[in-house]
């Protein structure tokens, strides 16, 4: 359990390796709310996550309402993280990529990129997306959401609180409960809060089993 | 371009927010090799990335050979990152999940987890995997590889060098060139090295477009 937000238990600034080692999948939170300014910092970090073509093909539903969490818990194998966390982040693949292409084009224009280059980017990415099947589009946008998820997990640790990546939930039920449009598909969730458990040692295969 | 490995340009330790802001998709590297001990540190960080059920359903091919890079560049739209980087990390979805379940069971046993719990874990995860279609298995394992990718990108910045996530390559050609087995599917690549370009401002949609 962390009591000093933004620092490790000795109050020292952590380096990246310490953050990676300290992060763990928290099984239960205290129910304490994370201050809004810290959540804002976390979302700022998530917003800076990279994505394919820079298109940010994801959205994140941020849930704090108690009743809503209880409904979602019932659609999450009743896992205690859902109702004991501070903020529940629901990472969604966002399949309205044409909208993101338009938005990115506007950002490029505002940044002074010549119109010809903006058009080239728009044509190239639009062509790429139009060649994807519905399934491939969802798989591709989902993968980008996982990069943002990792920024969130590491960010939570860096900011002095805890998180838990979870795939064990009923995505269709989440869509219904959260009234999500068809283009916003929940793919992974990440409750964040103050841990009420202790980390267990990380179990990892050897480097030879991972790298070759 | 970074000249002080592990520090920012003023030689200061970076905090996580600075790492996130400093990371960018490097378009060209200097060709300089990153010392092996720094690469080992990077791979240690990647190895600690979380994954679904902790199963590490990914593998990473590490390419340094010049001729191999040239062959791969031809299968990567001739993008200059491939031959100018120090190490090319080819993130692969690893679909032999039964092997990983076995390995994780052994790690649990070695960590003192009771045999009954190991068996329960093995049964549960084996059941989960056996219910996945071939496409769903690949999509699921691919998403885990993207979490590891993010650890690599942030880790490279933290260690004082640069990276570039790339989806623009011919996966089938990569499999052939690298002689990868069918269960090891390249899904995203990440050259790392010393940048020979300068970052451009990050373009991001507003928080209201991402969070709701």
CATH number of the domain bearing residue A82: 3.40.109.10
Interface A-B: count of C-beta contacts within 8 A: 164
Task: Please check whether residue B59 touches A, CB under 8 A.
Answer: yes
Number of domains, chain B: 1
Residue A10 inside a domain? The answer is no
- Establish if B91 belongs to a structural domain: yes
Contact A185, A21 (CB under 8 A): no
* Per-residue pLDDT reduced to its tens digit, A152-195: 999 999 999 999 999 999 999 999 999 999 999 999 999 999 99
Closest chain A residue to B142 measured between Cα atoms? A143
Does any domain span residue A53? yes
B146–A151 CB contact, under 8 Å? no
CB-based contact, B209 to chain A, within 8 Å: yes
Q: Residue A125: its pLDDT value, please?
A: 98
Q: What is the pLDDT along chain A (212 residues), one digit of tens a residue?
A: 343 344 555 556 789 999 999 999 999 999 999 999 999 999 999 999 999 999 999 999 999 999 999 999 999 999 999 999 999 999 999 999 999 999 999 999 999 999 999 999 999 999 999 999 999 999 999 999 999 999 999 999 999 999 999 999 999 999 999 999 999 999 999 999 999 999 999 999 999 999 99
| B212 within some domain | no
Phi (first) and psi of residue B21, to 5 degrees = -75, -35
Decide if A127 is inside a domain.
Answer: no
Distance (Å) of CA B198 to CA A183, B182, B195: 35, 38, 7
Q: How many angstroms away from the CA of B211 is the closest CA of chain A?
A: 5
User: Which residues of B fall within a CB distance of 8 Å from A79?
Assistant: none
The pLDDT value recorded for residue B3 is: 37
Judge whether B58 is closer than 8 Å to chain A, CB to CB: yes
Query: Would B204 be classed as within a structural domain?
Result: no
Q: Which residue of chain B is at minimal alpha-carbon distance from A103? A: B205
Residue B151, domain member (yes or no): yes
Domain that holds residue A81: 16-102+133-197
Q: Does B100 touch chain A (CB under 8 A)?
A: yes
* Closest among A12, A41, A36 to A159, alpha carbons compared: A41
pTM value is: 0.95
CB contacts of B43 in chain A (<8 Å) are 207, 210-211
* Burial group, residue B198, by CB count within 10 angstroms (0-12, 13-18, 19+): exposed
The alpha carbon of B60 is separated from its chain's Cα centroid by a whole number of angstroms, namely 7
Output the average pLDDT for chain A. Answer: 95
Nearest to B43 by CA among B152, B150, B144, B195: B152
The answer to the question of residue B101 being in a domain is no
What is each CA distance from B88 to A5, A42, A70, B95, B203, in whole angstroms? 37, 30, 45, 22, 26
Interface contact A211, partner B, CB < 8 A = yes
What ipTM did this prediction achieve? 0.95
């Amino acid at each position: 359990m962390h009591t000093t937000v933004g620092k490790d238990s000795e109050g020292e600034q952590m380096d990246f390796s310490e953050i990676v080692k300290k992060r763990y999948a928290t099984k239960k939170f205290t129910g304490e709310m994370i201050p809004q300014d810290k959540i804002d910092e976390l979302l700022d970090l998530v917003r800076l996550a990279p994505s394919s073509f820079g298109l940010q093909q994801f959205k994140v539903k941020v849930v704090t309402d108690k009743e809503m969490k209880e409904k979602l818990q019932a659609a999450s194998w009743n896992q205690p993280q859902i109702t004991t966390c501070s903020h529940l982040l629901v990472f969604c693949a966002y399949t309205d990529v044409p909208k993101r292409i338009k938005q990115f084009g506007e950002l490029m224009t505002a940044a002074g990129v010549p119109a010809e280059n903006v058009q080239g980017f728009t044509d190239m990415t639009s062509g790429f997306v139009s060649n994807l099947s519905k399934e491939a589009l969802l798989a591709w946008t989902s993968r980008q959401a996982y990069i943002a998820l990792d920024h969130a997990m590491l960010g939570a640790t860096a900011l002095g609180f805890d998180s838990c990546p979870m795939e064990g939930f009923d995505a269709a039920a989440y869509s219904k409960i959260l009234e999500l449009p068809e283009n916003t598909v929940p793919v992974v969730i990440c409750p964040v809060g103050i841990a009420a458990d202790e980390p267990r040692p990380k179990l990892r295969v050897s480097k030879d089993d991972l790298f070759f």
